Amino acid sequence: MDFSHRIENQVCIVNIEGNIALDGVTEAKEYLKPLLEDIEVKGLLINFEKVNFIDSSGIGLIVSLFKTLQQRDAKFGLANLSKKNEEIFTITRLNKILEIYDSEKAGVSAMSS
């Protein structure tokens, strides 16, 4: 799993490439921890454009990020989900509590307002 990020309008956009699965969750937490602690960041948007697969450990990571940011009154969202990944969030009903955007641009726009 590869990571990169940038900050736009106080929203941290995290690009993940690969699978969000058990073998990469610890690495993801280590990468994301300083971003979650940055008080300048008012929202975190995970770009799923290059995410092939997410398993239950990855879902756990997403829920953990959501809860951490919620405690900080910061926003959290997902963008560019494939049909397959979108279906996983629908089946788990997480689409009812998470903000899911069609594009990175739409996510940043909604989260920075």
Per residue in 15-33, pLDDT tens?
999 999 999 999 999 999 9
112 residue type, one letter: S
Mean pLDDT, rounded, of the chain: 95
Query: pLDDT of 43-79, one tens digit each?
Result: 999 999 999 999 999 999 999 999 999 999 999 999 9
**Straight-line distance from the first to the last Cα atom of the chain, in angstroms, rounded to the nearest whole number:** 31
Q: Beta-carbon neighbour count of residue 89 at 10 Å? A: 20
Q: Is the pLDDT of residue 113 over 80?
A: no
- CA–CA gap between residue 59 and residue 47 (Å, rounded): 15
Q: What does pTM read for this prediction?
A: 0.94
Fold of the CATH domain 2-111: Transcription Regulator spoIIAA (3.30.750)
